[in-house]
Each structure stands twice: as C-alpha cells, then as structure tokens.
C-alpha cells in the first residue's frame, strides 16, 4: 500500500536530502521558466539532471514510494496511485449522490484547481524540477481526494452517530411503550378478574334471591292455607258454640222440668197424707 504524505512532509523531506547533498547552499534557486503540466521537453531535460541513486531512494522513501529495501519505479507508483485514485473517485461518486457532472467545474472548483496548480508549481520550483510535475500533481490530487473522503467519512460517521442516537432514543421509547403495554395488560387482566368475580357474586346473589323468592311464595301459600284453616276452625267454633248454647238451654229446661216434677211429687205426697 502506497503511503500519501502532505505537502509539508514532502517539502521537509526534499529539504533534508537537498541540504545533505549541498550543505553550503541553504537557499533554493527558483526556476525562471516554470513548466506546464505536460511539458515533455523539460522532462527530458530533467532526466539529464536527474538525482543520484541515493537521493532518488531517499526521495522515494520520503514520498512513501519505497517500502523497506525494495526499489519501486516512480511510473509504477503513479499507475498504482492512479488506480487507487479511480477507486477513490468511485467511492466518492457513491457517497456524493447530488454531485454535478465532473466536467462542469464550478467557480470554487476552478479556484481550487488554480490554487493546486500554483502549489504544484511552487513545489516544482523548490525541488529544482528533479521530480516530475505530474507526479507532484498526482500526489496532491490523491491527498486532496483522501482528505475529501476523510471529510465525507467523518460526516457519514456523524450522521451514523445521529442515527444511532435516534435509534437508541426510539429503542428506549419502544421499551417504554412495551412496559406501558405490559402494565396496561396487567391492569386489564386484574379488571377482567374483578369483573368475573363480580359477575360470579351477582350470579350467586341472584340464585339466593330466587331461593328467597321461592321460600316467600311457599310461605305465602302456607299462610293462605293457614288462613283457610283458621276460617274453617272459626266456623267450627261458631257451630260448636251454637250447639253448646242449645245444650245449655236444654239443660236449663231439664232443670226447670225436674223442679216442676219435684213440686208436683211434693204436692201429691202432701195431698195423700192429708
């Protein structure tokens, strides 16, 4: 995996190995005629003034193009970087659904592009054109793409954090609703049990009331029978009382008759004796 360094790291690394090569010279001479991106003539000229093997290795190591003791060709590194750049761009296109056509650059993008070209020119001047401008541009583009992706990943993480927070809040609300539902179900079950108990008691009371009503009817019937019996007994009593009165009258008549008989006997006896 090729490492990507920032502009400051590239400048620091370049200054370090250039200072070692020429300790007496501290200031760098600026090029009077800076090259454009695709100036092949200067590239060929730079090949004649190329760095030594040691300096090239140091520069490759500073740019992250040399891992361990392996010799990695710059062009191969650029191709690898380009392939990574294309993958980054695909990821960028996936993440940015609302981006406009890349061929239509906005004013801010044009300004940013101009600023990047100025930075490339400055770095190109500082390192005395010993590294191709296209290589510097690719590294800067890669770094910019990585920074953009990092920013977008950071934004996505923020969104994800917000979503997780919202999901946690929703889970808490769902848990609260579930608990409330359990409480309501428990209370509803209690109410049902009380209602069933009340219905059962009401049924028992209705049964008792029916029994009492039946007993009351029986008592009423018995009372009616008792009244009838009392009426009959009263009639019998009156009848007996009438007969008793008759017996008393007859007895009185008998007593009177006996008295008359006794008087008559006395009279007869007295008459006979005289």
Among all chains, which residue has been given the structure tokens 């008459």? 271
Q: Quick one: which of 84, 85, 119 has its CA closest to 7?
A: 119
Banded pLDDT at 106 (limits 50, 70, 90)? low
What does the alpha-carbon distance between residue 239 and residue 243 come to, in Å, rounded to a whole number?
6
116-152 residue pLDDT tens: 777 777 776 776 666 677 777 787 778 778 888 999 9
Residue 35 · residue 129 · CB < 8 Å: yes
pLDDT of residue 20: 53
235-272 residue pLDDT tens: 999 989 888 988 999 888 899 888 888 888 888 888 87
Please state, as a whole number, how many other Cβ atoms lie within 10 Å of the Cβ of residue 50: 11
The structural domains of the chain, with segments of one domain joined by +, span 7-173
Which tokens belong to 163? 């979503």
CA dihedral 89→80→130→140, nearest 10 degrees, is 20
Banded pLDDT at 82 (limits 50, 70, 90)? low
């Amino acid at each position: 995996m090729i490492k990507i360094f920032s502009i400051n790291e590239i400048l620091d690394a370049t200054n370090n190995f250039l200072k070692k090569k020429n300790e007496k010279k501290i200031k760098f001479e600026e090029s009077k005629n800076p090259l454009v991106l695709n100036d092949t003539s200067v590239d060929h000229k730079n090949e004649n003034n190329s760095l030594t093997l040691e300096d090239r290795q140091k520069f490759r190591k500073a740019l992250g193009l040399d891992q361990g003791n392996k010799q990695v060709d710059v062009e191969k590194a650029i191709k690898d970087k380009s392939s990574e750049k294309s993958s980054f761009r695909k990821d960028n296109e996936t993440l940015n659904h609302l981006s406009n056509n890349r061929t239509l650059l906005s004013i801010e993008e044009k300004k940013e592009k101009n600023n990047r070209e100025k930075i490339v020119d400055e770095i190109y001047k500082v390192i005395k054109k010993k590294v191709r401008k296209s290589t510097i541009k690719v590294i800067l583009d890669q770094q910019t793409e990585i920074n953009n992706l990092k920013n977008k990943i950071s934004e996505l993480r923020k969104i994800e954090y917000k979503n997780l927070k919202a999901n946690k809040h929703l889970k808490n609300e769902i848990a609260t609703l579930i608990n409330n539902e359990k409480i309501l179900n428990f209370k509803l079950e209690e109410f049902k049990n009380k209602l069933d108990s009340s219905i059962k008691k009401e049924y028992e009371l209705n049964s008792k009331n029916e029994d009492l009503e039946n007993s009351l009817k029986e008592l009423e019937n018995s009372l009616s029978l008792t009244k009838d019996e009392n009426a009959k007994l009263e009639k019998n009593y009156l009848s007996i009382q009438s007969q008793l009165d008759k017996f008393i009258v007859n007895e009185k008549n008998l007593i009177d008759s006996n008295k008359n008989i006794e008087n008559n006997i006395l009279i007869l006896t007295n008459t006979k004796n005289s």
